[in-house]
Structure 1
Amino acid sequence: MPQLDLAALPDLPVRSALTRIGDELAAQGGAVLVAPPGTGKTTLVPLALADRVSGRVIVAEPRRIAARAAATRMAALLGERVGETVGYSVRGERKVSAGTRIEVVTSGLLVRRLQNDPELAGVDVVVLDEIHERHLDADLLFALLLDARDGLRPDLRLLATSATVAADRVAGVLGDPAPIIEVDQRSFPVDLAYVPARQRERTEQHVARAIGTALAESDGDVLVFLPGVAEIRRTAALLDDLPVEVVVLHGRLTSTEQDRVLRPRRGAAESSKQGSAEDGADDSADGSSERLAYRTERKRRVVLATSIAESSLTVPGVRAVVDAGLSRVPRVDHRRGLAGLATVRVSRAVADQRAGRAGREAPGKAWRCWPENEHQTLPAYPEPEIRAADLTRLALELACWGTPDGSALTWLDAPPEGAMEAGRSVLRALGALDRTGNVGERGRRMADLGLHPRLARALLDGTPLLGARTTAEVVALLDDDSVTQSTDVVDAVRTLRAQRPARWTKEVDRLARLVGNADRKSPAHRTETPAQPDLAMIVALAYPERIARRRAPGSNSYLMAGGTAVTLPPGSLTDSEWLAVAVADREPGRAEGRIRLAATADEQLAREAAAELVTVEEQVDWVDNDVVARRVERVGRSRWRNTNWPNRIRSSSRTHSGAGSSKPASVCSPGHRRRPTCANASPSSTKPSARRGPQSTTRQSSKNWTAG
């Protein structure tokens, strides 16, 4: 590494604390750095640490864009190209060399690296950046690093950085306790204004109105925080008539598109030339090449962003912030079998971080899209993902680490046992864990793919059936369903094959290689319409409990095998009796979920893909002085066939029941494994006796699919 001259580094607030940070890590082995956005903690600290140690410095970022941006900025400070002294590694992309001393990685990737090399050979320091965001991968990584340090690497130094002041808990877990180093931000004043919504005003209309006010009452660019890409698109459509350049910033853009937004423009303030990436972030979004209404002659920009721009990235030229007050976070509804992203109100800490973006380079102003009297009702801090998210992937990583329940680890917040058991149940059904909860070769293979275990199962089991390329195309779509606005999986894949968006194509290539791609044809040469049953099979392999059947002829309501009712919006799938549902969500207060992405299925596919959920229920009941026997076949809770037994069997039942008997005899269908239990009934009554329902015996699989 080139000799570092600390005096030559940008005059950012953290520079005054660099010597103390190094001293505390050398003496204590761990420390917590509390520094608001804009202080230089993500870029200057790793450079200073690498100058003091002989081994490598690993910086763990919560998101890919943050890793790339931080590495790019540090390399620029050294006057080098990325991949020399400073490099980065994210899923599907790596720029490092033999001389790399500082490597910036995503938290999830470092978890995988730690699983393969628990000692982290050659690494002297790990920096856990933005630990206050409490992402699931970051919490898991923190726990695994503490365990590795305690058992294998007592010399490994850990630095946790946070943009909020709630550092006592982190310090208590990291040390006894670890020292806390605080750096004050030298920021410009930011005025606050509150813009409540009008009656019946949609989010995008509300935000667009606030943007108009911000443009009229401020100078410079406007940074707008929205919960997701759908809201970004709708808001952008309302800004077409404004004399501004509208650009978007979210985690699913290509690196080139992201860099274009973060790069200082000609004529920007000199302070912004010091770098466009001081810290890092990423979110749910669309993978298409979006630069909405990009016009180079316009100097003022409106940057529509997700939470990606909250605390880790510097967007140059911003003087005003408009905050919708919403964020999209992972949630799981175990009762309904739905997992996905939920829109929630931001915390006060997040709102303050967002507002602070207006004062990074000059005095600014922030417009908050909620009433001022509601601000104190917001939660103080974001809820840690580990408390509410799907923990199936976490459970697999813990099994690979050798502590399936996680009880041997030290956590900031221990994973809830109910969610952990739900995750382990899914993993057993996937074949990733055995009955005792131990991980086998298949489970480790699934973990190595870098996918959710459900998608890993679809990739591994779908490839022998349909080929690596087709399977990879669908799995890449399911892993990032925001690349399409279609409800039909077949239509989505056909469009993606024709348009070949860079991010989706790159992931398809990666996945196909991982499972041994025998079909070398790229999507550019595959524009034909894929077969509906093929794609439905891949969806069903990932989500067998989401096999759904129409509840009534002509209805748009379906019942999934897991028991959740879902509604299909108008479109190409409305004639489908059976569906393999890939994505469904539910609005608060609504009983039924909404189908977002699905493929047409049939009964045979349901039997094959959801074999573990197929049950046979034999019911014997007394109705109108007669024994009524039925054989009911289901996929989970969705009934697909109801067959009456032959009359001769019912007659035999009456004969054997005997005169005066109060119950019909038990009847067993030929070849069935279990004897049904008859319902309470009386032959002297003309209608069934009062009871909770017909008693029955159900033959069920021992494997249980739950939400995850």
Structure 2
Amino acid sequence: MLPDLPVRPALAEITRTVADHGTAVLVAPPGTGKTTLVPLALAEIGTVVVAEPRRLAARAAAARMASLLGEPVGQTVGYSVRGDRKRSKDTKIEVVTSGLLVRRLQNDPELSGVDTVLLDECHERHLDADLLLALLLDARDGLRPDLRLLATSATVASDSLSALLGDAPVIRVEARTFPVELIYSPPLRNERIEHCVARTVHLALSAHHGDILVFLPGAAEIRRVTEALRGVDADVVPLHGRLAAADQDAALQPGRRRRIVLSTAVAESSLTVPGVRIVVDAGQSRVPRVDHRRGMSGLTTVRVSAAVADQRAGRAGREAPGWVYRCWPEHEHGTLPRYPEPEIRTADLTRLALELACWGTPDGSGLRWWDTPPPGPLAAGRETLTALGALDGGTVTDRGHAMAQLGLHPRLARALLDGAAQVGPTAAAEVVSVLDDDTLATDADLDATLRTLRATRPQRWLREVRRLSALVSGPTRERDSALVVALAHPERLARRRAPGVYLMVNGTAVEAPGGLGDPEWLAVAVAERKPGAVHGRVRLAARADEALAIRAAAPLLVEGDEVVWADGDVVARWVRRLGAIVLKERPLSNPPATAVREAVLAGLRKDGLALVRFSPAAAALRERLALLHRVVGPPWPAVDDEALIALAERWIGSASNKSELRRLDLTSALRALLPWPEAGRLEDLVPERIEVPSGSRIRLDYSGDTPALPVKVQEVFGWTSSPTVLDGRVPVVLQLLSPAGRPVAVTADLASFWAGSYKQVRSELRGRYPKHRWPEDPMTADPTRHTIQRR
């Protein structure tokens, strides 16, 4: 008998809809039974493959379904995940990871023997899951029109998924949940999130009954919270995807006494942790991100989405009324993103690019995507694959197919294949297993980590080493962990440029922890850069040397003459370099003039007009030309920074370095940009000076939006209208000054000033400056440049 879960009454409708339409979408919250009961129902109409985003979820779902049938896993219900498989000829329901099903589909695009594929937890938007959906739809359009697809989700926008599946019917099942009380417990000032979580757990332990499920971003935070909870009257149980299978299974079983389960995102939706009445949510998740400019990729901690926070909260109300503690301020909840960001928009797409090339569509065109892969990151992935020898002109090589079959990131696949040939299968597999799961690292020094692993022999690591070493062949040689790291990440080879600071081949500077010593070279396995930090930070590396670097990154080694803009000036030299790292150099005595000119132009584009000096005359001319371009437009040229840099070839003359740029006569340079014959009217249109009634010729100030004329009041007596420039189109603002040269009024309408404000100015200033003329009628008074009255 199937358990009485909310999805059970809808099983007949779900099965009938999938059979009749071929595709369907099932929207059901966590706890409704969609992961375990629906596959059992679909098995009545044929063999079923269930694709789960995580290995832990795949194994747990298979175990739950097998227990409902009263059978061991591997008979009617089996599973296959990387490095672990339980199935037989009698298996009708197989639960697999999305990535493994992609590999199976690549090897057998018809998915022979499979009648229905259930894509579970589509809302999580993992990269492998999105790719799998696109490939399944393509296979169904061409080779397997009879292949049935059911996409299930807890929170997804069902309309877009339905449209993607060809206007598939949408079936909704509501959850029967108990009420939960929301309590906000934000960090105290300067309190780390782990300390906030531990404090909140202590509070929940004393206030309520039942097991506690704590959501944390990663295994490192789980370890720190475990330490902070040492001595509590409860069992503290970790749960994350890197644990051994037996430890994962134990976390999903009821305990003999109260439990505190510290989990990553694996417990959000497809897994049920029994006995939970309280959820403590750190509000964070770890997601893949790539920094293409700095050549760093990895996992980044971000705030969870509102949908994920709701899913996590729902765990407290599965079996009884519960309580949810959120470790962030209540006013911040409304600022959370609505849904998680799809991985395809932010992650490294090298592996996706290889799978697409193996499928025969390197750019992904022709496939139906939920979110189309971004062209830039996808192109970067193809470039990486070409450098690794996996692609040749966009076509997959034999080497590329071999790399894809390993089920690793292409970089790690390259390191395993080539490393096995150079250091032996076991030594290569030992390093690659740590690169693939850096939670195994016990030290920033990779060699120290490997020594610890070889001494302690953890079963999870040993199993992966055995699995990987069995996939490749090669002679057994002296171990060289740095070489294997460099084969995976040649662009991360790094040379010391200051104590503790290294420059990587890709041009990024990183700081190395003291535990690595201070070697000349490092092969960096893992590096990260926090926002605002000047340098990246090495988290895992091995000591290397120049010979190893050249051996591992030979395609990046270049030598020859170069004339470039570097460190703020033209550098002309013969150089031998490994990417951004200069190995040898000597100056060039007579570099080509055209190359020098290009370097100067590159410097201006890079560092801007700070490289040149505008004299007061040049600055004033530039301001006049800016007004002409703003008001009249062409043919008068733009003279903003961007425009002048674009026109630099016309005005840099023979400048060949930074010093000569500083000495340029920019007044002449600007005049060289003037259009002809229009340049003949420059002084008429935007005069440098204007003659005022007193006879003085006063310089106009064009630095503001409107030209201004600073002039003493006495010099414009008799002027009844304000001056203009640009043939009367632009009024000049008069900045009227006191006899001491201090501003007393600003006006663009002189007649109105004489008739109005002048009276107040006269009243205030005639007492302060009694020897100066302050006539009652300034429009008929004689102007004077002499401020003191003469007898």
Compute the TM-score of the two structures, normalised by the length of structure 1: 0.82
Deviations along 1:65-104, whole A, 9 cap, x unmatched? 1111111111111111110111000011111111111100
Alignment of 1:498-647 (within 5 A): 498-516=455-473, 531=479, 534-552=480-498, 555-571=499-515, 573-619=516-562, 630-644=573-587
2:719 paired residue number: none
Q: Cα 1:537–1:663, aligned 2, differ >3 Å: closer, same or farther?
A: closer
Alignment of 1:204-283 (within 5 A): 204-266=194-256
The answer to whether 1:364 aligns with 2:322 is yes
Structure 2 unaligned segments of length 5 or more: list them: 598-650, 664-791
Counterpart residue number, 2:687? none
SS at the partner of 2:7? helix
Distance 2:92 2:656 in 1: 86
CA distance in 1, matches of 2:563, 2:175: 75
Q: CA deviation at 1:118?
A: 0.5
Which one of the candidate residues 9, 12, 15 is aligned to 2:8? 15
Give the aligned partner of residue 330 of structure 1: 288
1:689 CA drift (Å): 2.5
Contact 2:421–2:473 (CA<8 Å) still a contact in 1?
A: no
Residue aligning to 1:199: 189
Q: How does 1:14-413 map to 2 (within 5 A)?
A: 14-51=7-44, 53=45, 55-175=46-166, 177-266=167-256, 299-413=257-371
The structural deviation recorded for 1:407 is 0.8
Q: Is the 8 A contact 1:620 1:629 kept in 2?
A: yes
* CA 1:691–1:132: 2 relative to 1, 3 Å: farther
TM-superposed deviation, 1:691:
8.4
Q: In the TM superposition, what whole-angstrom CA distance separates every residue of 1:356-384 from its partner, at most 9, and x where no partner exists? A: 11111111000000111110100000000
Q: Which runs of 5+ in 1 are unaligned?
A: 1-7, 267-298, 522-529, 666-679, 693-708
1:642 counterpart letter in structure 2: E
Match of 1:689 in 2: 660
Q: How does 1:489-504 map to 2 (within 5 A)?
A: 489-504=446-461
Q: 1:81 to 1:377 in 2, by over 3 A?
A: same
3-state secondary structure, aligned to 2:430: helix
RMSD: 2.6
What is the identity, as a one-letter code, of the residue corresponding to 1:133? E
For the residues of structure 2 that align with 1:576 and 1:570, how far apart are their CA atoms? 11
Pair 1:691–1:339, CA change in 2 (3 A): farther
User: What residue is the counterpart of 1:470 in the other structure?
Assistant: 427
2:420–2:474 CA contact under 8 A, matched in 1: no
Decide whether aligned partners of structure 1 residues 40 and 604 sit closer, same or farther in structure 2, where only a CA change above 3 A counts.
Answer: same
Amino acid at match of 2:486: A
Distance in 1, matches of 2:596 and 2:378, equals: 45
Q: Which whole-Å deviations, capped at 9, do the CAs of 1:344-367 have from their partners, x for residues lacking one?
A: 000000000001111111110000
CA contact (8 A) 2:54 2:97 kept: yes
Offset, 1:165: 4.8
2: CA distance, partners of 1:250 / 1:633:
47
Task: State the 1:683 CA deviation.
Answer: 12
Shift of 1:493: 1.0
> 3-state DSSP class of the match of 1:551?
strand
**Aligned residue in 1 for 2:633:** none
- The amino acid that maps onto 1:557 is V
User: Equivalent residue of 1:383, what SS?
Assistant: coil
CA distance in 2, matches of 1:684, 1:306: 60
SS of the aligned residue for 1:186 comes to coil
- 3-state secondary structure, aligned to 1:497: helix
Partner of 1:281: none
Distance 1:685 1:474, change over 3 A: closer
Q: Which amino acid aligns with 1:45?
A: V
1:683/1:78 CA distance change after superposition, 3 Å:
closer
For residue 661 of structure 2, what is the amino acid of its counterpart?
A
Change (3 A) 1:681 1:149: closer
1:203 deviates by: 1.1
Distance in 1 (CA, whole Å) between partners of 2:24 and 2:594 is: 76
Q: Distance in 2 between matches of 1:343 and 1:504?
A: 25
Shift of 1:303: 1.0
Contact 1:662 / 1:683 at 8 angstroms: preserved in 2? Answer: no
**Secondary structure of 2:177 counterpart:** coil
Change in CA separation of 1:664 and 1:351 when aligned onto 2, cut-off 3 Å? closer
Query: 1:355, 1:366 within 8 Å by CA — same for their partners in 2?
Result: yes
Q: Distance in 2 between matches of 1:393 and 1:541?
A: 16
**Displacement over 6 Å in runs of 4+:** 661-665, 680-687
Change (3 A) 1:614 1:165: closer
Change in CA separation of 1:620 and 1:410 when aligned onto 2, cut-off 3 Å: closer
Match of 2:414 in 1: 457
Task: Classify 1:361/1:194 alpha carbon distance in 2 versus 1 (closer, same or farther; 3 Å).
Answer: same
Amino acid at match of 2:31: G
Deviation at 1:684, TM superposition (A): 12
Please say which of residues 209-218 and 384-393 is displaced more in the overlay: 209-218
Q: Return the alpha-carbon distance in structure 2 between the equivalents of residues 382 and 616 of structure 1.
A: 46
C-alpha separation between the residues in 1 aligned to 2:303 and 2:558?
A: 42
The letter of the residue matching 2:580 is R
Structure 2 residue identity aligned to 1:179: P
Q: Check 1:662–1:373 CA distance in 2 against 1; reply closer, same or farther (3 A cut).
A: closer
Given residue 453 of structure 2, which amino acid in structure 1 is its aligned partner?
L
CA contact (8 A) 1:663 1:681 kept: no
TM-aligned CA distance change 1:628 to 1:32, over 3 Å: closer
- Alpha-carbon distance in structure 1 between the residues aligned to 2:545 and 2:423: 17
Judging changes above 3 Å, is the alpha-carbon distance between structure 1 residues 517 and 88 closer, same or farther for their aligned structure 2 residues? farther
SS at match of 1:213: helix
In 2, Cα distance between equivalents of 1:516 and 1:18:
49
Query: Alpha-carbon deviations, 1:386-444, whole Å to 9, x = none?
Result: 00000000000000000100011001000000010000000000000002x01121111
Indicate conservation of the 8 Å contact 2:115/2:148, yes or no: yes
Distance 2:209 2:564 in 1: 77
Shift of 1:636: 0.9
> Aligned equivalents of 1:125 and 1:472: distance in 2?
36
Distance 1:662 1:322 in 2: 66
Distance change >3 Å, CA 688–CA 157, structure 1 → 2: same
Distance 1:684-1:496 versus aligned 2 partners, 3 A rule: closer
Residue pair 1:563, 1:636 contacting (<8 A) in 2 also: yes
How far apart are 1:241 and its partner, in Å? 2.9
Indicate the residue corresponding to 1:676 in structure 2. Answer: none
1: CA distance, partners of 2:150 / 2:219: 33
1:419 is paired with a residue whose SS is: helix
Normalising by structure 2, what TM-score?
Answer: 0.74
